A and B are shown apart, each in its own frame.
Chain A
Amino acid sequence: MTIKQLSVFLENKTGRINDVTSTLGKHGINMHAFSMAETTDFGILRLIVSDVERAVEVLRAENFAVMLTDVVCIQCDNQAGALSAILEHLSEKDIFIEYMYAFADGAKANVVIRPNNISSCVATIKECNCTILSTFK
């Protein structure tokens, strides 16, 4: 019920994100979602891609520092209060969210969550009115 997210360590340097995206594009790997976390001198690019094993392989071959992280991806209704209901549940169960990112399109919203405790997060979300994605289309 979790998805392997790709994390890439990047120096803050113009064009560096595109070095990642072009490498993936060249190998026919599609990106479903990504977010960039940045500090003053480095950033961490987090991606959900169509072929994670292959993405690790091709990025490592280009000397990128890459690692995989388990994240929970959910789909909920794209309407006011929908996400809040889920997050409330998580906080009741004392589940801490390290980071999350989301996008909404049409009737549904997709949310990627990195909790401190994956299994209890999955169990808690199962009780909510939303879908846990095991793959992105």
Chain B
Amino acid sequence: MIWNPNKECMSREQMHALQSKRLQKLVTYVYHNVPFYRNKMQAMDIAPEDIKSIDDIVKLPFTTKQDLRDNYPYGLQAAPPSEIVRVHASSGTTGNPTIVGYTRKDLAVWSEVMARCLTAYGVTRDDTFSVSYGYGLFTGGLGAHYGVENLGATVIPTSTGNTEKHIRLIRDLKISGIACTPSYALYLAETLEKMGLKREDISLRIGAFGAEPWTENMRKEIEARLGLKAYNLYGLSEIMGPGVSYECSEQNGSHISEDHFYPEIINPETLEQLPYGEQGELVFTTLTKEGMPLLRYRTKDLCTLMDGECACGRTSVRMGRIVGRSDDMLIIRGINVFPSQVESVILEMQEFEPQYMLVVDRANNLDTLQVQVEVRCDYFSDDIGRMLELKKRLADRLKSVLSIGADVKLMEPGSIERSQGKGKHVIDKRVLK
């Protein structure tokens, strides 16, 4: 099913024309309402009239997370305070949080794009849907919530926490869909099993997972343990929140609602725009946003963009799986390491629980990487030789994938801290100068 065939299946020519018109309007709007952009554009000697089509976007300045922090709290807001009806804030672990104000129209667009996502996953008015992202300043909870309501399904605002109660609700209310982080989905599966229940005891059929990078193996694991079909849901609070892009039944990339969010891939070093198919940093321009519109916002998410009509009928550009973030990338002994690489190795080996922690440290001026993994109860052996062999097998596999050696530490099941929000997978003890 397609929620808005008019936009989602628009011809490329029509989309180009629509995006061009919207970009011109946006640039004029921010030029006159956001001093930050006006100053930047003047310094680059660009006027709104220089933007004649969407292809001229490359002339425009970029925006970074640091720009948002520097202009805390409302420096990048374009709409007057009287027009702002809601504010969200990102979880700023360092420095100022990012404040995003939404106008009434922004919220309507958000519910619209979320409904497109849910419809693509197969959610209908007959579904009962649990929104298990955190409600509050984080965009996940409320963003998904209003999308479910807009679609007309029944929303159960479970938020996070109290997982056993949540599972009882899933069973008793016959909840058929759920939105949460993939690591919380695994935690749910674990709790379900701990409560002595089986996937047959619940009727979840659709999962919308996002807010953190995940892998194909993690998808298989979640699907097998919860008995549902798992779809990717992508978004970020700076641009809107969940609903920026979504998988369809083909699951060959995530369709971007590009009538609202214009995507580009750039080389993060040279900042040059890259052609479709090349991997680089994802950049978004909010074509229709009123509250806090952003030009060429650098997401730090690394992926590829794909064009061409999808078998589902949608014509929109798709983004590939996020292969990492420039800011979760670890440099260990000069080698780039993504936690997702370690995750894919661990999920390939059934002897381990799908939980892990990377501990990076520095001993004698040499970086060390320890990978902590939990041995599944069923694979624990009384034979030390077999346990050491298991440890070596994982170490060898990691070495071939990461190109650096890692010290594997076998842990007891359940001993690595479970997170209910974004999974924390790295402890970096190195003192950075």
Contact = CB atoms under 8 A, between A and B. Distances in A.
Contacts of A114: 382
Given A7-B382, A46-B382, A39 B377 contact: no
Given A11-B412, A41-B409, A60 B377 contact: yes
B409 A63 contact: no
A23 to B, nearest CB: 13
Given A37-B384, A39-B388, A44-B384, A66 B410 contact: no
A44 B382 contact: yes
A11 B375 CA distance: 11
Contacts of A67: 380-382
Given A42-B387, A42-B410, A65-B377, A11 B382 contact: no
Contact of B377 (A11, A44, A66): A66
Contact of B380 (A5, A41, A46, A65): A65
B409 A64 contact: no
Interface residues of B, number: 17
Interface in B411-433: 411-415
Q: Which of A10, A44, A69 has the most CB of B within 10 A?
A: A44
A101 interface: no
B242 to A, nearest CB: 33
B193 to A, nearest CB: 12
A44 B387 contact: yes
Contacts, number: 46
A9 interface: yes
Q: Which of A60, A63, A65 has the most CB of B within 10 A?
A: A65
Contacts of A98: 383
A65 B413 contact: yes
Residues of A in contact with B, size category: 20 to 34
Contacts of A46: 382
Given A46-B382, A98-B383, A41 B377 contact: no
Nearest to A16: B412
Given A60-B377, A65-B375, A66-B377, A9 B412 contact: yes
A63 B374 CA distance: 12
A64 B413 CA distance: 7
A63 B413 contact: yes
Interface in B380-404: 380-384, 387-388
Given A39-B388, A44-B387, A65-B375, A11 B381 contact: no
Nearest to B384: A37
Interface of A: 5, 7, 9-11, 37, 39, 41-42, 44, 46, 60, 63-67, 69, 98, 114
Smallest CB-CB A-B distances: 3 pairs = A7-B382, A65-B380, A63-B414
